[in-house]
Amino acid sequence: MPAESGESFGVTVDAIHPGTTVRYHYRGGDSLAVVTEKADGHVTFVGDDCNGKFTYDQIDRMLESGRLLIVLE
Nearest-angstrom CA–CA distance, 18 and 38: 6
What's the pTM value of the predicted model, to 2 decimals? Answer: 0.83
The pLDDT tens digits for 10-23 are: 899 999 999 999 99
Query: Residue 40's CB: how many other CB atoms inside 10 A?
Result: 7
Average pLDDT (16-42) is 96
What is the Cα Rg of the chain in Å?
13
Q: Please provide residue 43's backbone torsions phi and psi, each rounded to the nearest 5 degrees.
A: -120, 130
Does the pLDDT value for residue 46 go beyond 90?
yes
Assign 12 to helix, strand or coil.
coil
